[in-house]
Amino acid sequence: MQKKVEGERTEAAPQLRREDIAKAMQEMGTYMDVSVDDLLQVQTLAMKHARMRKAQDRKVDSLMTRPVISVSPETTLSEAAHLLVTHRISGLPVVDESNKLLGIITEADFLRALGVPAHHPGHHLWQTLENMFHPAVQVREPEGTVAELMVRDVITLSDTASLHEALELMKQHRIKRLVVCDKEQRVVGMLTRSNLVRIFFDHFISQQSAAGE
């Protein structure tokens, strides 16, 4: 195997052109029932799938949001609500003194605690918004602690998992976020739809750049 000499620059692979594929077909010297255009299209599609595979093989720890804003079970609901609004996030992991996951509290939980009807999957978004401003709705100050409102059965993901595994979990459980934990169930990150949008936007930009070359 050829070793790379220290300080030696590695040349990037040349971009394939139409004439390169045409000459390769001539060199093979056999009949092929495909055109150069067909092969170019196959190459373009193969490169697209290769980039998608590469993106989905990325590990969660390189994509997740950290450090994580978290709360304890003793945190008051008003304090937790303030954290959500201040940091513009939709969920807070609930942890113990060792940062081990105990549960999660989300904006939907707070809406219910405030007396505001949360968005129902069977309702149109505008119906939910209309209900929020209906005169019969009494918005009240949240009282109590996070422990009283948090969800204890949390869908988590290992920090060594791939993006593909994260997407499958989100689709399977129809959730917007995943708490990322290490082997000891300590919270190390959060993977949200915002992270995914950013990933696929970057992927789209790279595709556009490659198409323009």
Q: Which residue ranges of the chain lie beneath pLDDT 70?
A: 1-18, 20-21, 23-32, 42, 45-57, 114-142, 200-213
What predicted TM-score, i.e. pTM, was given to this entire model?
A: 0.62
* pLDDT the model gives residue 190: 95
- How many domains is the chain partitioned into structurally? 1
Residue 179 belongs to domain with CATH number: 3.10.580.10
- Taking a C-beta distance cutoff of 8 angstroms, is the pair 137, 84 a contact? no
- Taking a C-beta distance cutoff of 8 angstroms, is the pair 181, 159 a contact? yes
* pLDDT the model gives residue 108: 85
Residue 21 lies in a domain: no
* pLDDT the model gives residue 126: 47
Helix, strand, or coil (residue 98): coil
Say how far apart CA 203 and CA 127 lie, in whole Å.
35
* pLDDT the model gives residue 34: 74
* pLDDT the model gives residue 59: 85
User: Can you spell out the DSSP letters for 64-97?
Assistant: SB-SPP-B-TTSBHHHHHHHHHHHT-SEEEEE-T
Strand ranges (E), 42-169: 91-95, 101-106, 156-158
Residue 119 lies in a domain: yes
Residue 44 lies in a domain: no
Q: Which domain holds residue 78?
A: 61-202
